[in-house]
C-alpha cells in the first residue's frame, strides 16, 4: 500500500484525493450548501426570490437575531448531541450513502461511519485520532483525523454575526427532513466570490438535517441530507432510550492478521512564519483575510512547505507552497471531491490553491500569491495612479 497521510497534502507532489474523499466523507455529518445571486437563486426553469422581505417583523418572519440563534444552537447540538442515522451525499452523478453514530463523551467526540454503497470502508474517530479500514482490500490506516472536517460540520457557522459582511442571512420558512420539522436558513452571498448555503435546522434537537450548496450562478451543486436520524437528548432516560455503547477505536495491535496496517505518526506541529518570511496573497480577495501562515512537513517526502489559510469566515481556501522543480500533473479526478483547485509554477516553486469557493476566486488567490518581500511592489503596480518611472502624486 502506498504510504499516505490523513492530512491529505501531497504524495510525490500530487494531492492524494482518494484519501481526501475519505476525509470529506468522514466529516460530512450532514449538509448541503448553496450559492445565490444578489436578489434570487436561479434553478434552471424557475427562480425563487429569497430577499424580498422588507420588514420581517411586520410579516411575522423570524428576526435576524432569531435566525442567527438557530445557527448557534445548531453548532452546539452537532457537537454535544448523541445521534445515529443515515445520510446521503450527492454531487453531480456521485451519490454516497453512509451510516453514522456520533457520541459526545467527557473525553470529547466519538464517531463511527460506514459506507453503504461502493467500496466498503469505515471510519472511527476519537477526537483528533482516526482509524480508516477497507475490509475487502484488507488495509487499515491510523493517523490524525482530517483537518477538513469543519467544511461539512456545524463548526464554521458558530459565529454567524461575523458572516453578515459577506452573506445575507435569511429565514426561508420551514420544511421537513427525515421525518423531523426544521427551519430553513439561507446564507446568500453578497458577491460572486463565494458559494451560498441553504440549511435545514431541526426545530427540537437543533441538529443540521440538510445542507445544500449553490454555485455562483445559483445552481445547486451539492447536497447532504439525512434520510433517518435518531437523536438522544440529555433528558432521555435509560428506560426510553438506552445509552449507546462507547465506539471502540482500534490500534495496530488489535487488527487481525492478514491486513496491511499503516500507522501514520502524529503530524509535526506547524511553525508560524515570520512576518517578513514566505508568501502572502496580495492584493487580498475582497472579503477574505489570511487566517494563518505556517510551515508544515510533507509526511511523504518530509520536506517543509508553507501552508496558508484564506477565509471569509465560512468559505475557505488553503494555499500550499512547496519546492518542486519538476512540475507534476494535477489529478484529473480532483474536482470530483467538492473543491476547486488552481496551480501555478513560479520557478522551482509550485503554488496550489484548494478551496470550497468559486473557481474565479480560487484562480484569483492563486495568481495573487506572491513573495511577501514583493507584495508592496505588486500592490503598487496594480494602483491605477502608478505609472512606470513616475512618482504617484
Tell me the longest C-alpha to C-alpha distance in the chain: 82
At 155 the pLDDT is 83
Task: Show the cell assigned to 81.
Answer: 448531541
Q: Give 107's contacts (C-beta < 8 A, 6+ positions apart).
A: 126, 127
| Sheet architecture: strand order including 349-355 | 271-272, 289-297, 304-311, 316-323, 349-355, 340-346
Q: Collect the ranges in the chain with pLDDT lower than 50.
A: 1-58, 148-151, 237-239, 332, 380, 383-393
At 298 the pLDDT is 79
* 271-381: CATH class: alpha beta
Residue 123 phi, psi (nearest 5): -130, 130
pLDDT in tens, 74-90: 999 999 999 999 999 99
At 60 the pLDDT is 64
Whether the CB-CB separation of 244 and 82 falls below 8 Å is answered with yes
Separation of alpha carbons 309 and 349, rounded Å: 18
User: How deeply is 243 buried, as exposed, middle or buried, from its count of CB atoms within 10 A (0-12, 13-18, 19+)?
Assistant: exposed
Task: Show the cell assigned to 92.
Answer: 453531480
- Check whether domain 17-234+243-263 has CATH 2.60.120.1440, yes or no: no
At 123 the pLDDT is 93
Question: Which residue intervals of the chain are DSSP H helices?
Answer: 17-27, 64-80, 359-367, 375-381
**What residue ranges do the domains of the chain occupy?**
17-234+243-263, 271-381
Separation of alpha carbons 11 and 335, rounded Å: 17
Q: How many CB atoms lie within 10 A of CB 34?
A: 27
Please give the model's pTM, rounded to 2 decimal places: 0.77
Whether the CB-CB separation of 92 and 105 falls below 8 Å is answered with no
Amino acid at each position: 500500500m502506498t504510504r499516505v497521510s490523513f492530512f491529505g497534502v501531497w504524495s510525490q507532489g500530487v494531492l492524494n484525493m482518494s484519501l481526501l474523499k475519505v476525509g470529506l466523507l468522514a466529516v460530512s455529518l450532514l449538509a448541503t450548501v448553496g450559492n445565490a445571486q444578489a436578489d434570487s437563486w436561479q434553478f434552471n426553469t424557475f427562480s425563487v426570490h429569497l430577499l424580498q422581505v422588507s420588514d420581517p417583523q411586520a410579516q411575522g418572519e423570524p428576526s435576524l437575531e432569531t435566525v442567527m440563534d438557530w445557527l448557534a444552537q445548531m453548532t452546539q447540538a452537532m457537537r454535544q448531541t448523541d445521534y445515529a442515522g443515515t445520510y446521503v451525499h450527492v454531487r453531480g452523478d456521485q451519490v454516497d450513502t453512509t451510516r453514522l453514530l456520533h457520541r459526545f463523551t467527557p473525553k470529547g467526540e466519538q464517531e463511527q461511519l460506514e459506507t453503504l454503497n461502493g467500496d466498503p470502508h469505515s471510519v472511527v474517530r476519537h477526537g483528533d485520532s482516526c482509524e480508516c479500514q477497507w475490509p475487502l482490500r484488507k488495509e487499515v490506516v491510523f493517523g490524525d483525523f482530517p483537518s477538513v472536517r469543519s467544511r461539512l460540520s456545524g463548526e464554521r457557522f458558530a459565529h454567524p454575526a461575523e458572516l453578515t459582511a459577506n452573506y445575507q442571512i435569511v429565514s426561508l420558512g420551514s420544511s421537513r427532513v427525515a421525518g423531523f420539522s426544521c427551519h430553513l436558513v439561507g446564507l446568500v452571498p453578497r458577491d460572486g466570490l463565494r458559494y451560498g448555503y441553504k440549511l435545514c435546522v431541526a426545530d427540537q434537537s437543533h441538529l443540521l438535517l440538510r445542507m445544500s450548496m449553490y454555485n455562483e450562478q445559483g445552481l445547486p451543486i451539492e447536497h447532504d441530507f439525512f434520510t433517518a436520524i435518531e437523536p438522544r437528548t440529555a433528558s432521555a432516560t435509560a428506560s426510553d432510550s438506552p445509552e449507546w455503547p462507547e465506539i471502540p477505536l482500534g490500534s495496530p495491535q488489535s487488527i487481525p492478521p492478514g491486513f496491511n496496517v499503516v500507522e501514520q505518526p502524529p503530524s509535526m506541529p506547524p511553525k508560524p512564519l515570520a512576518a517578513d518570511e514566505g508568501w502572502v496573497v496580495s492584493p487580498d480577495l475582497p472579503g477574505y483575510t489570511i487566517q494563518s501562515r505556517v510551515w508544515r512537513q510533507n509526511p511523504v517526502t518530509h520536506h517543509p512547505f508553507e501552508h496558508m489559510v484564506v477565509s471569509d469566515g465560512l468559505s475557505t481556501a488553503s494555499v500550499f507552497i512547496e519546492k518542486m522543480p519538476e512540475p507534476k500533473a494535477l489529478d484529473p479526478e480532483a474536482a470530483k471531491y467538492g473543491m476547486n483547485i488552481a496551480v501555478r509554477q513560479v520557478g522551482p516553486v509550485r503554488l496550489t490553491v484548494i478551496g470550497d469557493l468559486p473557481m474565479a476566486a480560487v484562480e484569483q488567490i492563486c495568481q495573487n500569491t506572491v513573495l511577501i518581500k514583493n507584495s508592496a511592489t505588486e500592490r503598487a503596480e496594480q494602483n491605477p495612479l502608478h505609472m512606470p518611472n513616475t512618482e504617484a502624486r
